[in-house]
Amino acid sequence: MAEVDRSELPRRVWFATHSTHIKSANLPLDELKDKEKKGVSRLALLSACVVEETKDCFVIADAALDYMPLAPQLKYIVKSHWSWPPPEEWIARRPAHITASDVQPDSAEADKMLVPAGSRLYGRIAEETPAFWKVKEAALRNKAASPHMRYIAKADWRLRPPPKLYTPEAPLGYYYNNGGLNNQRLALLGLFLRAKEWKRAIVLPEMSIKNIAADSQLPAPLQDFFDLPRLLDFAQRHGIDVSLDDPANLPTGGWDYFAHGAGQFSRRGQQPEQFELESDLVIDFIRSVVPIPRTADVVARLKKRIFSEEGIELAAQFRIESDWAEHSKHLHSRIKEREDFFIPYDAIIAKIAATLPEQKKILVICDEMAVETPKEEMRAVCLARYGIELFFKSDFLSGEETETLDFLARAMIDFELAAGARHFVGLTRSTFSNLVTFQKFALSGQPVKTDYIYNNDKPELGLRTDNGGWDSPRRAVL
């Protein structure tokens, strides 16, 4: 290919019409290795210069995917997989209806569909009234919506602004990460790391209140959950400029930032001697990203009640929620070694009883609303079979407190309680578990020798020696 003066080429923008790949060669995917292609999710935003085109592909350069620069060797996109402009996107502000007519339905269930807060609707605006949008080509949470369901109330739905176009000088950022609490935390860490490495400013993302049972994610300001002054002080210490502009016109996801953040915290857990921990950005981030005072007060009260008054020393993550069952199918196909990453609650307790027989009281960490087995049943079985009492966060909260705490605040309380327990039992395939142990290490500066994993292929727990750094159970206990 002849050398092209890219400075003269206009930058083009596309969005992915469905899940696809960016490739290093104009070849079928089954002939390429993983490092020669990059998976792309539907509605991802790509910005690049076109230096050449073939019958089926554009050859691109100076590309960025969802505001993350792409490796130069990834240069082919299939024309039929990319388009512009993207559809509009709405996010339900509260439990909302999609209706068949632009009047509030009364009793005819066929004329309305109720969706939970945080549901994402894609489509195009066909008409608009003062109170409603009429949408066409609609998809609800990436599934096609019934064509007669076409009216949404403006008061109930937030219409996202059009995507902001990428420029190499623009601040780095993303709207929100659509994972759980600790995936979001790691994506934010990765964003700060990239900003430091590339000497770029950032737009602070929002957090996502993820409802596993309803399959919805409701964006909310980061300062509603984390202490913003502490975070801004951290950024200033490391010379990172932070913008508090609305990030809603940036891409959703931030998964490349997540991967970078996860990789960097893992390295510090595995080989802490290679880093100057007192000045390290990752360690400082863990110490600085703390709950807002209101949540911290709830955590302090619960710690006193659970650990001091009740005398509980061990917290155990029961990763048995519905989303983990689905994710485990992916793990089964990817992981070659045998391990117990998805076992029932009583099998987890059996391993604890075999390893730590003196522990007769256990604080269970889980999303109680996304677990099929009622806590009273789990409590009765474990007491009868192993003589172990199970306690849950909800046992120590009033009904009013439970109602006022959203899903993300509950997850934050779970995390702080798990990190505050003398012993913690989790699994290496969970970022929650790994970060609990890593936070203990970051706060103390000393190797953690009190935490265990249950996803090893043994009848007993494995003692962690990695400060939370490995996702492989075999490596975590070496």
- List, as one string, the DSSP characters of 415-442: HHHHHHSSEEEE-TT-HHHHHHHHHHHH
E runs forming strands in 41-87 = 45-53, 57-65, 68-69, 76-78, 82-83
- pTM for the structure as a whole: 0.93
Averaged over 401-406, what is the pLDDT? 86
Residue boundaries of the structural domains of the chain: 6-83, 96-159, 181-288, 293-476
At 238, is the secondary structure helix, strand, or coil? coil
Percent of the chain topping pLDDT 70: 97
Instruction: Please answer whether residues 461 and 454 qualify as being in contact, where contact means their C-beta atoms are separated by less than 8 angstroms.
Output: yes
Averaged over 68-91, what is the pLDDT? 95
Query: Tokens 């004329």 identify what position?
Result: 111
**Dihedral sign from CA coordinates of 457, 463, 469, 474:** negative
pLDDT at 440 over 90: yes
**Which is nearest to 85 in space by CA: 139, 133, 13?**
13
**Which is nearest to 312 in space by CA: 385, 392, 421?**
421
pLDDT at 400 over 90: no
What is the Cβ-side half-sphere exposure of residue 120, based on CA atoms within 13 angstroms? 19
Question: How many CB atoms neighbour CB 150 within 10 A?
Answer: 21
DSSP state of 32: S
pLDDT at 397 over 70: yes
pLDDT at 322 over 90: no
More confident call, 214 vs 128: 128
pLDDT at 111 over 90: no
Phi and psi (nearest 5°) for 374?
Answer: -60, 150
More confident call, 227 vs 324: 227
Averaged over 233-244, what is the pLDDT? 98
Averaged over 433-438, what is the pLDDT? 98
Q: pLDDT tens-digit profile of 252-263?
A: 999 999 999 999
- CATH number of this structure's domain 293-476: 3.40.50.11350
Q: Would you state the pLDDT for residue 148?
A: 85
Alpha-helical regions (H) of 252-394? 255-270, 281-288, 293-303, 322-334, 345-355, 375-386
Instruction: Please answer whether residues 447 and 434 qualify as being in contact, where contact means their C-beta atoms are separated by less than 8 angstroms.
Output: no
Q: Would you state the pLDDT for residue 1?
A: 44
Cβ burial of 111 (10 Å; 0-12, 13-18, 19+) is middle
Q: Would you state the pLDDT for residue 6?
A: 58
pLDDT at 393 over 90: yes
Q: pLDDT tens-digit profile of 32-56?
A: 998 899 999 989 999 999 999 999 9
pLDDT at 78 over 70: yes
Mean pLDDT, all residues of the chain: 93
**Which is nearest to 370 in space by CA: 226, 180, 130?**
180
**Which is nearest to 409 in space by CA: 215, 254, 268, 208?**
208
Q: pLDDT tens-digit profile of 462-475?
A: 999 999 999 999 99
pLDDT at 336 over 90: no
pLDDT at 4 over 60: no
Could you give the angle at the alpha carbon of 459 between the alpha carbons of 454 and 460, nearest 5°? Answer: 60
Q: Would you state the pLDDT for residue 87?
A: 93
Q: Would you state the pLDDT for residue 28?
A: 85
b/e sequence 113-129, b meaning 16+ C-beta within 10 Å: bebbbbbbbbbeeeeee
Written as six digits, the tokens of 370 are 């996304």
Q: pLDDT tens-digit profile of 263-295?
A: 999 999 999 999 998 899 999 999 999 999 999
Q: How far apart are CA 340 and CA 453, in angstroms?
A: 10
Written as six digits, the tokens of 107 are 């009793």
pLDDT at 104 over 70: no
Strands 423-426 and 314-317 come out as parallel
pLDDT at 109 over 70: no
What percentage of the chain's residues is helix, strand, coil (to nearest 5)?
A: 35, 25, 40
Q: How far apart are CA 424 and CA 418, in angstroms?
A: 6
Written as six digits, the tokens of 6 are 């890219």
